[in-house]
Structure 1
Amino acid sequence: MIVVERSAKSVEDAVNQVLKEYNVSREDVAVEVLEAGNKGFLGILGNRQARVRVSIKTPLDHVKAFLDSVVEKMGLRVVYDIKEEGGHVKVNFSGENVGLMIGRRGENLDALQHLCNIVANRYNSTGYIRVLLDAENYRLKREEALKKLAYRMARKAIETGKNVVLEPMTSYERRIIHLALQGMPDIQTYSQGEEPYRKVVIAVK
């Protein structure tokens, strides 16, 4: 949350100064009036400017408010850490029933991550910001499992001389398979099918 104070002839002018300076919309700020201002006698004598304190919501603030609402409505006993790092907003969940947050093969986590990206960029006018969600290092564990699967299926393809078609995966998971096998000279990979049933094919060259 960025907090700034500004003075102007009126409260509206002071707020508009902040909106223009930080290139944000009215929905992105909370305004506290410190001085309402006074035009003075005949609009000349005793003139006093209005003064406001404006709190500017960042993409991180929007994501946090959204996640708080989701956790509460789902009745989940989880907590999360949220931080900005390397131009991204990173969120990591932990807790008693974090498995419900992850879902089958990470489907819930992926869906929630997609929604968080929409929320973070809805009012963000300074460029696209990416939100990354994880839960007790599920992403890393899933990546390692997919790499092992890729190597095992590649060996099977070489031994049988037949293509191996994997189960449907997200674009993120398919990319892990492609990258894991791109260094094998006897193997080539490609994707086939339509989302959300798109699959990786492991073939012998």
Structure 2
Amino acid sequence: MNPKIFKGRTVEEATEEALKTLNEELENLEIKILDTGRNGILGLGGHPAEIEVHILGGAKSESEKPKKSTRKPKKDTKSNKISTKKESNQEKKPKKEIKSKKDDAPVSVEKDPEIEKTVGKILNNLINATGLEADVYVREQMEEGSIVFELEGKDSGLLIGRRGETLSSLEYLVRLMASKTLDKRANIMIDVEDYRLRRKEKLENIAVKTAEKVSKTGKRITLEPMSPADRRIVHMALAELANVSTQSRGEGLHRKVVINPVDD
């Protein structure tokens, strides 16, 4: 089929719109970035991102698509420092450990050294190109089968952006670049000084408190617009509750999570 053009505030949002419209998984699409948008990796305003999408042969039908797995607990492990611009004399603070809701032991998955090396190089090149000062680390513990890279330094906060939008775009771009370079899917996550952990805890707290209110009043509540990653956190936080259900409504940047009461 002919290629289609999708736009969004970021490359990730444009890709999300493409996945939703075409009803395909990311691995079934060939994506060419026409314009990353003026915000790029610095979160600055400007024109939207634009991508060109081709559907590859052998795309899976909806019934064949695998279900997404739930997030495994993150462990306080950060080991390999890929490069250093400036060493700090201050001792690094220990990472907070995420406790699982269930007592399931995390599944041990071996890292791919080729992905680790390639992504580390890409990240360092991007950071150097922006003139920012940040160090790149690799955590020992993987999450959902993904290698976790962490950025730390006096300028690392600039890579987060509003509600993590810049961080999400950076992660997507690095993953795409690494996958193209290696000719295989690079499963990675990028975090900045535990931002994703803090954001996850905040969203889970909001979700639980809102669910309690919905259960007491019997009235649905619609949360503010969220990114796909944030909506997933809310859905997963309430997935096992019997007295409420969740669904996503809206289009594009205005897509929200709705928490509904469930009749006994």
Shorter-chain TM-score: what band?
0.5 to 0.7
- 1:137-183 deviation digits (Å, cap 9, x = unpaired): 11111111111000111122223322111112122211111111122
**1:124 and 2:221 are equivalent in the alignment:** no
User: How is 1:7-156 mapped onto 2 (pairs within 5 angstroms)?
Assistant: 58-82=114-138, 88-125=146-183, 127-156=184-213
User: How is 1:149-164 mapped onto 2 (pairs within 5 angstroms)?
Assistant: 149-164=206-221
Which letter does structure 2 place at the counterpart of 1:64?
G
Which letter does structure 2 place at the counterpart of 1:134?
D
- Of Structure 1 and Structure 2, which has the larger fraction of its residues in helix? 1
Structure 2 partner of 1:167? 224
2:221–2:258: 8 Å Cα contact kept in structure 1?
yes
Q: TM-score, normalised by structure 1?
A: 0.65
Structure 1 partner of 2:260? 203
Q: Distance in 2 between matches of 1:85 and 1:73?
A: 29
- Structure 1 gaps of 5+ residues are 1-56
Summarize the Cα distance change of 1:202–1:146 in structure 2 as closer, same or farther, 3 Å threshold.
same
By how many angstroms is 1:103 displaced? 1.1
Which letter does structure 1 place at the counterpart of 2:172?
H
The SS at the match of 1:196 is helix
Q: Distance in 2 between matches of 1:115 and 1:61?
A: 16
Q: Distance in 2 between matches of 1:88 and 1:124?
A: 16
- Structure 2 gaps of 5+ residues are 1-112
Summarize the Cα distance change of 1:83–1:119 in structure 2 as closer, same or farther, 3 Å threshold.
farther
Structure 2 partner of 1:8? none
Which letter does structure 1 place at the counterpart of 2:147?
V
Q: Distance in 2 between matches of 1:89 and 1:155?
A: 35
Aligned residue pair count: 148
By how many angstroms is 1:135 displaced? 0.9
Q: TM-score, normalised by structure 2?
A: 0.51
1:89–1:131: 8 Å Cα contact kept in structure 2?
yes
By how many angstroms is 1:83 displaced? 6.2
Structure 2 partner of 1:187? 244
RMSD over aligned Cα atoms: 2.1
